[in-house]
Amino acid sequence: MADLWVEVDLDAVKYNYRQVVSILTAGCQVMAVVKGDGYGLGAVEVAKALQEEGCQAFAVTTVTEALTLREHGIEDTILVLGPSGPQDWAEAIMAGIQLTVSQLEWIIILEKMAAENNIQVKIQLKVETGMGRTGFKEDMIDDLVNSLSNAPHIVIEGAYTHFARAAQQDHTYTRVQNDRYLSFLLKLDNLGVKVPQRHVCNSAAFLDYPQYHYDMVRIGTLIGGHFPSASFRDKLELQDPWSAKAKIVHVQQVPKGTPVGYQSIYKSKTDTTLAVIAVGYADGFGVDPRFVPQGIVDLGKIIIKNIAALWRIQLGQERILFKGKSIKIAGKVGMQLTVIDVGKIECCRGDEVQIPLRRTLANPRIPRFYKKNNEYFRIRIIKEGFLSFNTEYANLTNS
């Protein structure tokens, strides 16, 4: 058994999916977004669990991610959201993967590929309404319709846009984006281009704009048990499928004033017990993204957090959990070792602690144990860097 591992509760993922479906507008479908290796939970495992709940559409960013799902038996709709390139298209279209098209030249190249192989290619059009990343703008419609009329092998499955500020309180920008999207579709329709699937909502928009659910919603964050921001917490009840755990690998009693770790930035305030856990920044632990303030109040919070951090006081951050109690990290997090100050709590080598490890940063090398339908299984990682590659299941007898 490893000293550091992750447990992923797929029953919680399934629960979250059912919660989403319970407030979905009638006649609308959920496309589960499983990009970023299923938001760190494991794309293949999450997709399979959601299939059991009746989910039939999945989205990822790259063709590689889409092919990984196909190789593992996901036969349903898979949409590639990100801009892809001609080097990936042959494989994608042979595997029946839907591509997002956001540039005119792509239609010509795709049509040529499809004609040569004598197959139909399913695409979704990306409409640029204010995200400023990719997509067709309204002034490109005439050229777009022109290109499409010369592309008999291309089938339009849908058209979508992506909101930039749906998680914010102010709804103005999202409404503008939605208006631009609808006006784009209206022009397409007037020019004879039919769009079967219309979709605009991510998790935040799904919760705040039920009138925009249209034919489909694209949900990632909520399925993973997270909220787009704290203000959404009372809108849905979700379960957290993720827990990272480490074993205590060393214990020592020390007197008051003992310096700990690099640069001795921590000194024990009393006689205490120090424990070492085998986790560090090489595992993605203690590496936090740099937060850019979203306004003056936010800036204040960030400044206060940083000042508090000078005295090793962690504000608004999850602590290490040991025997149900919250424990301080003592000193700097190392490459693969971290010291915790357990105080008066009784503690032995081999005891387990729960650690706040961000799922998208967790090194895929860390072993994972999955729970589904109340059974536990483990995934063996054969190819590093891609968790869901070559998975092999070995049932654990109730670990």
How far apart are alpha carbons 308 and 315 in whole angstroms?
A: 7
Those residues whose C-beta lies under 8 Å from the C-beta of residue 360, and which sit 6 or more positions away, are: 36, 39, 40
Which CB atom, from 201 or from 366, has the smaller least distance to ligand PLP?
A: 201
One residue of 218, 332, 359, 371 binding ligand PLP per CB under 6 A: 218
Q: Which of 321, 342, 341 is nearest to 331 (CA)?
A: 341
| Structure tokens, 13 | 């993922």
Please, what is the minimum distance in Å from the beta carbon of residue 113 to ligand PLP? Answer: 24
Q: Which stretch binds ligand PLP (CB under 6 A): 15-23, 84-92, 215-223, 271-279?
A: 215-223
Q: Which stretch binds ligand PLP (CB under 6 A): 199-207, 324-332, 336-344, 372-380?
A: 199-207
Please, what is the minimum distance in Å from the beta carbon of residue 186 to ligand PLP? Answer: 22
Q: Which residue has the tokens 């997709």?
A: 47
How far apart are alpha carbons 45 and 41 in whole angstroms?
A: 8
Site for ligand PLP in 279-338 (CB under 6 A): none
194 has catalytic annotation: no
Which CB atom, from 217 or from 333, has the smaller least distance to ligand PLP?
A: 217
Site for ligand PLP in 53-92 (CB under 6 A): 81
Which CB atom, from 41 or from 320, has the smaller least distance to ligand PLP?
A: 41
In the shown chain, the binding pattern of residues 220 to 259 toward ligand PLP, with x for contact by CB under 6 A and - for none, equals: xx------x-------------------------------
How far apart are alpha carbons 222 and 20 in whole angstroms?
A: 8
Three-state SS at 99 = strand
- Cβ atoms < 10 Å from Cβ of 233: 10
262 has catalytic annotation: yes
Sign of CA dihedral 127, 131, 133, 139: positive
In the shown chain, the binding pattern of residues 159 to 198 toward ligand PLP, with x for contact by CB under 6 A and - for none, equals: ---x------------------------------------
Q: Which stretch binds ligand PLP (CB under 6 A): 44-52, 218-226, 335-343, 390-398?
A: 218-226
Interface with ligand PLP includes 202 (CB under 6 A)? yes
Contact between 371 and 10 under an 8 Å Cβ cutoff? The reply is yes
Interface with ligand PLP includes 124 (CB under 6 A)? no
Please, what is the minimum distance in Å from the beta carbon of residue 33 to ligand PLP? Answer: 4
- Cβ atoms < 10 Å from Cβ of 345: 15
Which CB atom, from 33 or from 276, has the smaller least distance to ligand PLP?
A: 33
Interface with ligand PLP includes 33 (CB under 6 A)? yes
| Structure tokens, 62 | 């790259």
Q: Which of 112, 137, 256, 262 is catalytic?
A: 262
Write a three-state SS string for 195-247.
Answer: CCEEEEECHHHHHHCHHHCCCEEEECCCCCCCCCCHHHHHHCCCCCCEEEEEE
One residue of 129, 174, 203, 268 binding ligand PLP per CB under 6 A: 203
Sign of CA dihedral 354, 360, 361, 366: positive
Backbone φ/ψ region at 316: left (φ over 0), alpha (ψ -120 to 50), beta: left
Q: How many residues bind ligand PLP (CB under 6 A)?
A: 12
* Helical axes 86-94 vs 104-117, angle rounded to 10°: 40
Please, what is the minimum distance in Å from the beta carbon of residue 221 to ligand PLP? Answer: 3
Interface with ligand PLP includes 98 (CB under 6 A)? no
Binding site for ligand PLP (CB under 6 A): 33, 35, 81, 162, 202-204, 218-221, 228
Catalytic residues: 35, 262
